[in-house]
């Protein structure tokens, strides 16, 4: 069986969720957290390794809540995202207090990855279909044409909204199943008719809820890591004094590769409903959603029984 890894970005501070580590909030009937279900679905789809990207300061609690449990069922590795983890020749600005974003987070796992891998957010539930599609893509042969062949799970916008506030979504531009660009769209609200976004001047724009959006679920390769590493150095080298809070974001990096013609991103549409804990009030709805999935038999009442 070909080796494939699930890489989980769990280093986020989670300021919108309030106190506590939101990625570790119990939502299942037996105290399961969202990552339990993500890992369950990934292993079921054929992934056979899990890489946790975390902060060093939460390692002990993280291992207690989930890491030690997952080590009993599959291979596990850890990578640590750190503010100080930057390429040689660069110095961390004193004004910088947070890590450098999702691009740096994934890059932190370079030393523990030598197989194709999927990347997900720790606090997002993606459903089963996306894992199957991404896994099957990663184990299939791709052309050797000098272009990075990677993939992204595309979710219907209407299946990714929160009842408790606005969200930011990357609305995808697609031609013949291939991603041509992503428009980062802020302040998207769920409405009775569907969805709308509100600009700073108060104007409202209705959005097509069938549009596919990126939820930061990517299928990547070890070769991509070399490009990501070079891109991080280029990013740091391009920062101006007023941009010290700017982040090295994975979607923006991939968008640049697409525009440069050095990457092809195949979009794998999934009709599953995404949900996650963006706001503290989301936790109750997510808990209810998992209770419903268990009652329908999608998941056993105890994942580890």
* pLDDT value of residue 302: 86
CA dist 300 and 21 (Å) reads 26
Phi, then psi, of 127 in degrees rounded to 5: 85, 170
| Least confident window among 4-13, 125-134, 152-161 | 4-13
Tokens representing 11 are: 């280093």
> How far apart (Å, rounded) are the C-alpha atoms in residues 188 and 80?
32
How much is the pLDDT for 20? 59
Question: CA-to-CA distance for 183 and 156, rounded, in angstroms?
Answer: 15
**C-alpha torsion angle, residues 79, 80, 84, 87 (rounded to 10):** 10
Pick the CATH number of 5-295 from 3.30.497.10, 2.40.50.140, 2.40.50.100, 3.90.550.10: 3.90.550.10
With beta carbons less than 8 A apart as the criterion, state whether 269 and 212 touch: yes
Least reliable range by pLDDT among 53-62, 91-100, 189-198: 91-100
On average, the pLDDT of the chain sits at 90
Query: What pLDDT is attached to residue 14?
Result: 42
Question: Over 60: is that where the pLDDT of 224 sits?
Answer: yes
Domain ranges of the chain: 5-295
Report whether pLDDT(268) > 80.
yes
The predicted structure's pLDDT at residue 108? 96
Q: What pLDDT is recorded for position 21?
A: 62
18 pLDDT higher than 50: no
């Amino acid at each position: 069986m070909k080796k494939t890894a699930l890489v989980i970005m769990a280093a986020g501070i989670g300021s919108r969720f309030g106190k506590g580590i939101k990625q570790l909030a119990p939502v299942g009937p037996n105290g399961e957290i969202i990552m339990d279900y993500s890992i369950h679905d990934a292993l079921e789809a054929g992934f056979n390794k899990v890489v946790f990207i975390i902060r060093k300061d939460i390692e002990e609690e993280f291992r207690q809540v989930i890491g030690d449990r997952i080590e009993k069922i599959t291979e596990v590795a850890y990578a640590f995202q750190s503010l100080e983890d930057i390429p040689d020749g660069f110095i961390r600005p004193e004004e910088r207090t947070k890590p450098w974003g999702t691009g740096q987070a994934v890059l932190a796992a370079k030393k523990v990855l030598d197989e194709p891998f999927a990347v997900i957010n720790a606090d997002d539930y993606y459903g089963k279909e996306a894992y199957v599609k991404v896994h099957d893509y990663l184990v299939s042969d791709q052309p050797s044409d000098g272009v990075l062949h990677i993939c992204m799970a595309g979710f219907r916008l209407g299946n990714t909204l929160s009842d408790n506030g606005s969200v930011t979504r990357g609305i995808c531009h697609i031609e013949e199943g291939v991603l041509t660009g992503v428009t980062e769209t802020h302040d998207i609200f769920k409405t009775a008719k569907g969805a709308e976004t509100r600009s700073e001047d108060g104007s409202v724009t209705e959005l097509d809820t069938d549009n596919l959006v990126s939820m930061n679920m990517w299928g990547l390769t070890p070769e991509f890591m070399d490009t990501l590493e070079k891109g991080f150095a280029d990013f740091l080298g391009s920062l101006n004094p007023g941009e010290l809070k700017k982040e090295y974001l994975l979607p923006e990096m991939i968008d640049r590769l697409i525009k440069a013609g050095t990457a092809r991103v195949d979009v794998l549409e999934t009709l599953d409903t995404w949900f996650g804990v963006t706001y503290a009030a989301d936790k109750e709805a997510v808990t209810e959603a998992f209770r419903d999935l268990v009652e329908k038999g999608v998941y056993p009442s105890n994942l580890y029984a």
